[in-house]
Chains A and B, each alone.
Chain A
Amino acid sequence: MLKFKSTRKLGVVTSALALTMTGLAGFSASPAGASSYQKAHAGGTLTLLASTAGGTLDPQVNYTLEYWQLYQATYDGLVTFQKVNGPASFTVVPDLATALPKVTNGGKTYTFTLRKGIKFSNGQTVTVNDVKASFIRLFKVSNPNSGSWYNAIAGGDACVATPASCTLSGLTVNAATNTVTFNLAKVDPEFIDQLAVPFAAIIPASTPTKDEGSSPVPGTGAYTFKSYNPNSSLVMVRNPYFKVWNAKAQPQGYPNKIVENFGSTVESEVTAVENGQADWVFDPLPSDRLGEISTKYASQLRVHQLTADWYVPMNTNIAPFNNLKARQAVNYAINKNNIVKLYGGSKLANPTCTILPKGFPGHTNYCGYTKGGGSSYNGPDMAKAKALVAASGTKGAVVKLVATNDAVNAAVAQYIVSVLNQIGYKASVVLQSANIQFNYIQNTNNKVQISLTQWYQDYPAPSDFINILLGCSTFHPGSDNSINIAGFCNAGIDAQIKAAETLTITNPTAANAKWGQIDKTLMAKYAPWVPLINPKLTDFVSSRVGNYKFSLEFYMYVDQLWVK
């Protein structure tokens, strides 16, 4: 899920980009690309700008894209998402392990062999004990997903319950053979993806078992964090002990130093990049600068489709949206083309009708609620919407929509409220800081009827959307961490989810088709959300920057940029 700390607005691909089933064509399948390191371009300082820091720097705690992007160059897990341009970046490859794991015991046992001779940035050699300690530390530092992902490891649930006495019996290591064996408590088709994200980075066993906050933790990547102050800057330098072992897992980087400065306004960040005083802007580009950037600096603008949803979850447990007809009415009424406009135009977002984003495994072309029907979006149908509201008997209900207060979210929220009023509700908007809103809308105690939010994939698996956002297991009434915001829990659907997950292990293609079917059923029969758009991401880089490469998983490869 991965949300940006301050929601990024823009994304991607030029309109020429045809989105195929696997999505994301448009990448020139990285010609020659990754492998050949060009020494002539090495050196220099790369300057990145972000208006705010991303919080703690601890890779086992931080859950922001702002830092996951940087962790690619500083940390390694046993496996990783391949560091190449384009769709192939969704492929998991061995990193600190010599090969992808041997999966035995009906999908419950994963065996890795650790590479020899790799050193941390503090000079220590990476051993199987570091691997064991890293996974135990995940639980001791209360990793956000320790109770939802890593508890799949046998003994994991006990570690979640009492982290202090965590021994993680399901993870055994053998120093003699240099092997690491995970025994899972239950089959988990996504376990390998979960090992490839920064949470599962291998760090020294000597790392204190508390959130290290702003003090850097040593890693094995091409770079290491030298200093960090969330109010001024983050500095990355070359890891003196780094030697390339697999350029697709951890390539050598180009700049000698990478600095991310925090604290200026987005406006001044854009100006700085235009003037060549900095190389890249993390924050979404301000809408009134887009015209200027896309005309004067078009060659410095990069656009990519994201596998993410902007959506409107409706609380299926309280009035008026506990009524299916009311939810369908909202689906018919909202003009998704207007949302695209508010987001910056058709080059920056596509309207969507499904839960799984375009280009994501399992996505099917389907649009249940649009004028005239059909498989693609053709605009709203206000007449049907009004008729449904009338038929549902919810007309005149007081509705409050909760959204974040940044410019784009606030604009979209105001538009939706305006539509809700048109179809017969008494709607108003509550705007909150992004840091508060995301938890506020999850807690059933706050009785949020309808909200506006986003979901960015963690890894390319349909269950990361459907199971996490609409499965019974993520609905926790009364908790701030109940990511099933619609509060949707249906035994039939849950059984289908379980079946699809099991099928994933044996037949991923058939499983994807099944996920697509579940997606369709969810929208057609239950409509717990209004899916709005799939956003694209815009990167604005300085004119001197070369070798821009993009990962669908973690976005631009910061360390691969040339500044020379």
Chain B
Amino acid sequence: MLSFSLRRILSAVLVLFAISIAVFLIFFATPGVDPAARIAGRSASPATLAHVRAAFGLNRPIFIRYLLMMDHLFIKRDLTSYVNVGLKVVPQVLKAAPITLALVSGAAVIWLVVGIFGGIIAAANRGKFIDPLVMFIGIAAVSVPAYWLGEVVNLITQSRLHSSLFSWVPSGGYTPFTQNPWQWALHLLFPWLTLAALYAGIYARVLRAELVNAMNEDYVRTARAKGLSERRILIRHALRCSLVSIVSLFGLDFGALIGGAALLTEVVFGLQGVGMLTYTALQNLDLPVIMACVLYGSFFVVLANAVVDILYAFLDPRVRVA
């Protein structure tokens, strides 16, 4: 078990290392992207440019620059942006992280409740009208582009019905919880609902499928033979087993979202989270910020994968050899 965990963690570190190299190569191979020119300003003379290049170490061989960047990012922790000169990258990421965390956790609560509830309702009412209805809503939810849904929400709450029904909806942005918890929740309500819609749809569909499979398993038949009620079997036995796959799915999704996958929701609602930070950095080709964000994001994806794998191995010893 221990050796499996160690191997898993080692491979996770290797993956992160490879990603950092990939990002570095992708962005330094880009033509027309000379960070020195942008730092130096708009009509800098070639001599000025050369000095900026030297001052930022941009004239060194590429692998030295990679090492320098990693040194500044992880050891000295004073890596600065190429676009907002002097602005340290690490605090920027740490500042954006709570916003993303607030968005994703709130949405996660909603989608877990709605998704699990929807899945159970559908599975418990198989063959009735309500099952296909729930599944149809689920399909619709997974087919809606999240950013478009966000825009529709904005259109309704900020423009069409803003003077009547939705006059209480604030105009985008973020208020820290510590500053005003009520405003915090108000600002995040629609982003939560928008982000949760897709995942609620996925989870309801997955859970229903798992429950339906589980209801055909041996242990359920045994329970049935004992004369337990269908509802009791569903909740007590089938649900308990099916939740394992929901939990592992949740681990992966939550990790990815914390790492920046909530980008589109953040962009649409003007939330300055990790996804938005990365997106802005990508548009500016601000390599230090891109590097920090991508590594931050990948860290959570890799971590979530590793945790899920190790948990699985813990539960099911056969996996360890694979």
Contact = CB atoms under 8 A, between A and B. Distances in A.
Question: Are the chains A and B members of one assembly?
Answer: yes
A56 interface: yes
B43 interface: yes
A213 B48 contact: no
Interface stretch (B34-42, B107-115, B118-126, B203-211): B34-42
B87 interface: yes
Interface stretch (A304-312, A385-393, A433-441): A433-441
B61 interface: no
A147 B41 contact: no
Interface stretch (B1-9, B49-57, B218-226): B49-57
Contacts of B84: 53, 55-56, 213-214, 230
A213 B41 contact: no
A214 B42 contact: no
A18 interface: no
Given A147-B45, A480-B49, A263 B173 contact: yes
A483 B80 contact: no
Contacts of A211: 85-86
Interface string A46-69: 000000110110100101000000
A142 B85 contact: no
Contact of A271 (B46, B48, B87, B171): B171
A472 interface: no
B83 interface: yes
B248 interface: no
Contact of B43 (A144, A160, A231, A272): A144
Nearest to B174: A263
A212 B86 contact: yes
Contact of A148 (B45, B80, B87, B92): B45
B127 interface: no
B284 A160 contact: no
A490 interface: no
Given A231-B95, A268-B270, A439 B48 contact: no
Interface residues of A, number: 52
Contact of B284 (A161, A213, A435, A440): A435
A499 to B, nearest CB: 23
Interface string A249-280: 00000000000000111011001100100000
Contacts of B95: 231-232
A489 to B, nearest CB: 16
B285 A433 contact: yes
Given A53-B84, A443-B32, A265 B49 contact: no
B14 interface: no
Interface string B145-184: 0000000001000100000000000011100000000000
B86 A146 contact: no
B297 to A, nearest CB: 18
A142 B283 contact: no
A143 B41 contact: yes
B158 A213 contact: no
Contacts of A476: 46
B189 to A, nearest CB: 15
B31 interface: yes
B47 A160 contact: yes
B42 A230 contact: no
A432 B8 CA distance: 40
Given A272-B171, A435-B285, A481-B43, A142 B51 contact: yes
A483 B34 CA distance: 15
A230 B289 CA distance: 14
A30 interface: no
Contacts of A433: 283-285
B45 A146 contact: yes
Contacts of A145: 41, 43-44
Contacts of A148: 43-45
B25 to A, nearest CB: 18
B278 interface: no
B298 interface: no
Contacts of B283: 433, 435
A20 interface: no
Nearest to B55: A142
Contact of A483 (B31, B43, B46, B154): B43
A267 B172 contact: yes
Nearest to B284: A435
A125 interface: no
B33 interface: yes
Nearest to A3: B42
A211 B83 CA distance: 12
A468 interface: yes
Contacts of B173: 263-265, 268
Nearest to B282: A433
B272 interface: yes
A163 B52 CA distance: 11
A277 B51 CA distance: 44
A446 interface: yes
A445 B46 CA distance: 15
A185 B87 CA distance: 37
A7 interface: no
A207 to B, nearest CB: 13
Contacts of A1: 42-43
Given A267-B171, A440-B32, A144 B86 contact: no
Contacts of B47: 147, 160-161
Contacts of B285: 433, 435-436
A161 B96 CA distance: 40
B41 A231 contact: no
A163 B51 contact: yes
Nearest to A446: B32
A215 interface: yes
Contacts of A3: 42
Contact of B48 (A143, A232, A267): A143
A142 B31 CA distance: 24
A474 interface: yes
B295 to A, nearest CB: 19
B45 to A, nearest CB: 3
Interface in B267-299: 270, 272, 280, 283-285
Contacts of A480: 32, 34, 36-37, 49
Contact of B42 (A144, A213, A215, A445): A144
A174 interface: no
Nearest to B45: A147
Given A143-B41, A268-B171, A61 B32 contact: no
Pairs of residues from A and B, 9 with the lowest C-beta to C-beta distance, nearest first = A213-B86, A144-B41, A147-B45, A480-B37, A268-B172, A268-B171, A265-B270, A271-B171, A433-B283
Interface of A: 1, 3, 52-53, 55-56, 58, 61, 63, 142-148, 151, 160-161, 163, 211-215, 230-232, 263-265, 267-268, 271-272, 275, 433, 435-436, 438-440, 443, 445-446, 468, 474, 476, 479-481, 483
Interface of B: 31-34, 36-38, 40-49, 51-52, 55, 80, 83-87, 92, 95-96, 154, 158, 171-173, 270, 272, 280, 283-285
23 contacts: A53-B84, A55-B83, A56-B84, A63-B42, A142-B44, A143-B41, A144-B41, A145-B44, A148-B44, A160-B47, A211-B85, A213-B80, A214-B86, A215-B86, A231-B95, A433-B283, A433-B285, A436-B32, A436-B33, A443-B32, A476-B46, A480-B49, A483-B43
Given A3-B42, A147-B46, A474-B43, 12 more contacts: A52-B280, A58-B86, A145-B44, A163-B51, A211-B86, A231-B96, A231-B272, A271-B171, A439-B32, A476-B46, A481-B37, A481-B42
